[in-house]
Structure 1
């Protein structure tokens, strides 16, 4: 869900680990600790919420990858100044228009997991702007070079 939809990743992660969070109260109606299919699909359920949030989220046109600064800022959804793995996965899926193919979504996620340490030079767990923009060796130039040869 994080990679395919415009969600606040930090809030979602916090909610998952807090059984008193309003999301659990609203969608785990039976209090089981799980959101079952009927709760997921119920009117006002999680699917309804995500659909509403996604349609309200107006991103505008995705910037061209060659405009590295603009692309980076566009995909730094939480404004943290760094890209988390799920932000990179979502950015690549949306930029390359691959979000409807679950096999490609999983392949992209696995690829990003595999290459992450190469581009996260400081080991912070996220790609800071300087790591992204590093001439020749940064994630941006690597993505652009890969796209040119595909």
Structure 2
């Protein structure tokens, strides 16, 4: 995936260089558009590289919650499970061993509340509608 984004960046840069300039055509928008596509491809590749590097440093089970941690939480008597994922990968819910798990980005309000928390601690989730308090039951 990373290589594909880098290849796209190179192709867009080459297309930008090969596009006719303002003196060769009525418009210079092709050169600009291909340049913009190259910048966007480079930004996507950088994000992918950062996510892969972060996932290579998964946290120790039982330690404070960090990227890659599975968090068991209790809120209003209900058990909920959250997986801390890189930015851009949150928002999905999946089922593992019959349990619903919500993927949350570490920079999201829920993710920020859990990062650094350990079992037995309270996490305060800051939302536009107000605060939600949840107890961290386990981190793995």
For the criterion TM > 0.5, the same-fold answer is no
Answer 1 or 2: which has greater helix percent: 1
Q: Which structure has greater strand proportion?
A: 2
TM (normalized to structure 1)?
A: 0.27
Quick check: which has more Rg, 1 or 2? 2
